[in-house]
Amino acid sequence: MATLTEHLIKLTDHRDRDLLELTLAKALIDLVSIDRVLIARVTSEDGVKRWLDVVTLDARGGGKVVDPLRIDVSRLPRLEDASDRLRCIQTGERVEVAWAGENGPRHTFFPLFSDARGDDAQGVLEIHSSTALTEEDLATIGQLHHIYRNMFALLAYSDRDALTGLLNRKSLDDAFYSAVLEELDGVIDSNKDVPAPHSVGKERRHRVPPNYWLGTIVIDNFPLLSDKHGHLIMEEVTLLVARLMNSTFRTHDRLYRFGGDQFAALFHCPDEALAFGAFERMRANVEKFNFPQVGRVTICAGFTRILADDSPSTALERAEQAVDYAQKNGRDKVCSHLDLVRRGFFGEVVRTGAVDIF
């Protein structure tokens, strides 16, 4: 069994926020006399907030880790369906529920974060134990939880675009492989260490499921608008486009800004038509929005299915080829790279050069 110090080292050794919850759960199972630990996040779709159990580990062995990109949000329980969890995040305080007598087993809930955050960083740490947690147990949980929060904040800062708060270009490279790999088989061997994410090469080839999509979005005529309205006004436009992305796409979809007028989205959905629909909703929402001091703004979007041998660069190259086509053929439209290939406008991209960003 690893010591507290060894678990603290593991928690602070990560460069990927997606592994922090699993590392925290493994440490709690090892160091505290508990039966089960769950970490649940708040996610939403179409304005309905729900609970997503991202990590579940049992002291007797086994558990599961859920890939947020692959879940069917409509099947998740609503926030009000778990009243104790909801009370925990609403009050920001620990909630303890003894469900089989005062001295019997209980569930203890801790707010995942101590401050108010968006849906993507709301949640609870849920501990199942056969008796009440001791002061020593609570102290150990508090120490590990504190380190987790600090690491999450540090990694979130390094992953985010300073202006919009969306994910940055570096985080696409860092998360691309873990985000699009096959869904975990659900059983975690608690005797194995969590693999270090930075050991994965940025251009490594891999196998992915067929239904991940990556798209890029650009603001039409951005240089002309910038010349006309000035840098500060266009920063406000950029911020508003980012907010429209957050309100249009699902909570668990990965949304990026690469700089200037370039944005991107990475998500999972069953087919091309639904992927097109997501980008089309974004285009329509921008088109009908009244941007202060600017008025009407439009966007182009291009998207591609992620292929089995893709790297971030090759997938982005196809998406940008579709965006270029949209900009050169009327603007204010969404283009699927796959559809353009089927229609014979161009062939598959064969070179694998770097993507220009600014």
Residue with tokens 């401050």: 115
User: Is the pLDDT reported for residue 208 higher than 50?
Assistant: no
User: What would the mean pLDDT of 54-82 be, rounded to a whole number?
Assistant: 87
Q: What is the pLDDT of residues 231-276, one digit of tens each?
A: 999 999 999 999 999 999 988 889 999 988 999 999 988 899 999 9
Q: Quick one: pLDDT band at residue 15, thresholds 50, 70, 90?
A: low
Are the C-beta atoms of residues 173 and 313 closer than 8 Å to each other? Answer: no
Q: What residue type is 7 in one-letter code?
A: H
Whether residue 90 has pLDDT greater than 70: yes
How sure is the predictor about 206, in pLDDT bands with cuts at 50, 70 and 90? very low
Distance CA 278, CA 274 (A): 6
Cα(216)–Cα(130) distance, integer angstroms: 50
Output the pLDDT for position 190: 37
Question: What pLDDT, on a 0 to 100 scale, did the predictor assign at position 325?
Answer: 95
- Domain positions in the chain are 4-159, 199-342
Give Cβ neighbours of residue 32 (< 8 Å, ≥ 6 apart).
127, 133, 137, 140, 141
What is the per-residue pLDDT across 17-53, written as a single tens digit (0 to 9) for each?
667 888 999 999 999 999 999 999 998 877 789 999 9
4-159: CATH homologous superfamily? GAF domain (3.30.450.40)
Phi (first) and psi of residue 220, to 5 degrees? -65, 140
Mean pLDDT taken over the chain: 83
199-342 to CATH, choices 3.50.50.60, 3.90.640.10, 2.60.120.1440, 3.30.70.270: 3.30.70.270
Q: pTM higher than 0.85 for the full model?
A: no
189: left (phi over 0), alpha (psi -120 to 50) or beta: beta
Nearest to 143 by CA among 52, 42, 1, 12: 12
Write the burial class of residue 190 (CB in 10 Å: 0-12 exposed, 13-18 middle, 19+ buried).
middle
| Maximum average pLDDT range among 169-183, 199-213, 305-319 | 305-319
DSSP 205-259: -----TTEEEEEEEETTHHHHHHHH-HHHHHHHHHHHHHHHHHHS-TTSEEEEEE
According to DSSP, the residues that pair with 63 across neighbouring strands are 57
Task: Give per-residue pLDDT as tens, 294-343.
Answer: 999 999 999 999 887 888 899 999 999 999 999 999 999 999 999 999 99
Checking if the pLDDT of 279 tops 50, the result is: yes
CB 317 within 8 A of CB 353: yes
